[in-house]
Amino acid sequence: MRIDDRKVRDVWLKYGRTHRKIYKNKLIETYFPLVRHIADRMLMTLPASVELNDLISMGTFGLIEAIERFDPDRGVLFKTYCVNRIRGAILDELRSQDWVPRLVRYKSSTVDKVGGRLKGRFGREATVFEMAQELEITVEEYQKMEREAKPTAMLSLSDESPEGSAESSSRILDLVKDERGDNPFTHVHLRDIRELAKKHLNEKEQIVVSLYYFDQLSMKEIAKVLGLTESRICQIHSKVIEKLRKALTELRCDLFLA
């Protein structure tokens, strides 16, 4: 990007003496193409969700700050001085908008690296047990790490949905679920609980599960129905949770070892 600082030397002198806005605007106009050039170069290394105009806006603030702080008497060309200011302003703003913590990025990177290494070793995707063993942590710790490693992104509800086609596109807003409708996943989970209860719980425990999770009765109300104390119902419920958790763990093992 060729900009001759000597051509605006008089403007710099006038701005240095008066700090009038007219001279400042002239300097911004002169060096603005440099902002666009830097933004263009940086855009090539950034995600597709980042727009050029946003980078130019960020860089313009850096240019303005550079003009305000520049001292011509130091013998440094302004172009050399302002490049770092423009680039730094863009990077600072991008970092401030990135709300995914560094720890999440570290965990995501670790999971990806270990998973790739094991895939190369085994010729297939590694199981949670193999991942945990490679990382020298428990399965529970790895599963927690995997959950926390999932990145989160902010989307505009006015953006086009990636599920749309060229003939028929729709905004994400149009696909937001209706909170008044039934959640199909809830029905699936409840069905799974009912099936596990039949296989692994005795009759009284199944009744507690049915009354608590399906009929939405409180522990106190269930105690009255069964003629037991509320503390006894809590004990039965705790035992039910342990049995179901154990059954789910065994089921996951069977799925990975199958």
Q: Which pLDDT band holds residue 101 (cuts at 50, 70, 90)?
A: low
| Residue at which a domain ends, from 152, 170, 193 | 152
**pLDDT value at residue 253:** 52
| Residue 18 domain flag | yes
The reported pLDDT for the residue numbered 183 is 59
Using CA atoms, how far apart are residues 184 and 100, in angstroms rounded to an integer? 30
The CA angle 127-133-135, to the nearest 5 degrees, is 105
Which tens digit of pLDDT belongs to each residue from 18-59? 988 888 888 988 899 999 999 998 888 776 777 888 889 889
Whether 14 and 59 share a structural domain? yes
Same domain flag for 106 and 72: no
Answer yes or no: do 108 and 88 share one domain: no
- Express each pLDDT in 210-255 by its tens digit: 888 777 788 888 888 888 888 888 888 888 888 877 877 765 555 4
Domain of 144, CATH number, reads 1.10.10
In a shared domain, residues 91 and 24: yes
Among candidate residues 136, 152, 168, the one where a domain is terminated:
152
The verdict on 235 and 198 lying in the same domain is: yes
| Listed residues 78, 97, 116: the one ending a domain | 97
pLDDT at residue number 149? 63
Residues 82, 116: one domain? no
* Residues 84 and 10 occupy one common structural domain: yes
pLDDT band at 73 (very low <50, low <70, confident <90, very high): confident
Residues 93 and 105 occupy one common structural domain: no
User: Which uninterrupted H or E stretch holds 15?
Assistant: helix 9-18
Domain identity same for 36 and 85 = yes
Name the domain count of the chain. Answer: 3
Q: What are the pLDDT digits (tens) for 174-214?
A: 555 555 555 555 666 667 677 777 778 888 888 888 888 77
User: What is the full DSSP assignment across 27-95?
Assistant: HHHHHHHHHHHHHHHHHTTS-TTS-HHHHHHHHHHHHHHHHHH--GGG---HHHHHHHHHHHHHHHHHH
* 60-80 average pLDDT score: 85
Q: Classify residue 166: in a domain, yes or no.
A: no
Domain match, 47 and 86 both: yes
Q: What is the pLDDT of residue 198?
A: 78
pLDDT number for residue 35: 92
pLDDT of residue 217: 84
Are residues 82 and 106 part of one domain?
no
Q: Output the domain CATH number for residue 90.
A: 1.10.1740.10
Per residue in 103-127, is it b (16+ CB within 10 Å) or e — as a string? eeeebbeebeebbeebeeeeeeebb
Least confident stretch, 81-85, 101-105, 186-190: 101-105
**Can you give the pLDDT at residue 102?**
57
Q: Is 34 helix (H, G, I), strand (E, B) or coil?
A: helix
Instruction: Report yes or no on 13 lying in a domain.
Output: yes
CATH at 245: 1.20.140.160
pTM of the complete model:
0.41
Decide if 168 is inside a domain: no
The answer to whether position 169 is within a domain reads no
Residues 42 and 91 grouped into a single domain: yes
Q: Does residue 138 fall inside a structural domain?
A: yes
Q: What confidence tier does 258 reach under pLDDT thresholds 50, 70, 90?
A: very low
163 found inside a domain: no
- pLDDT tens, position by position, 126-180: 888 888 888 888 888 888 877 766 545 445 555 554 445 444 455 555 555 555 5
pLDDT for the residue numbered 160: 54
Residue 157 lies in a domain: no
Which range has the worst mean pLDDT, 2-6, 17-21, 91-95, 157-161?
Answer: 157-161
Question: What are residue 171's DSSP bridge partners?
Answer: 160
Tokens of 86: 């423009």
Which structural domain, as residue segments, surrounds residue 142? Answer: 101-152
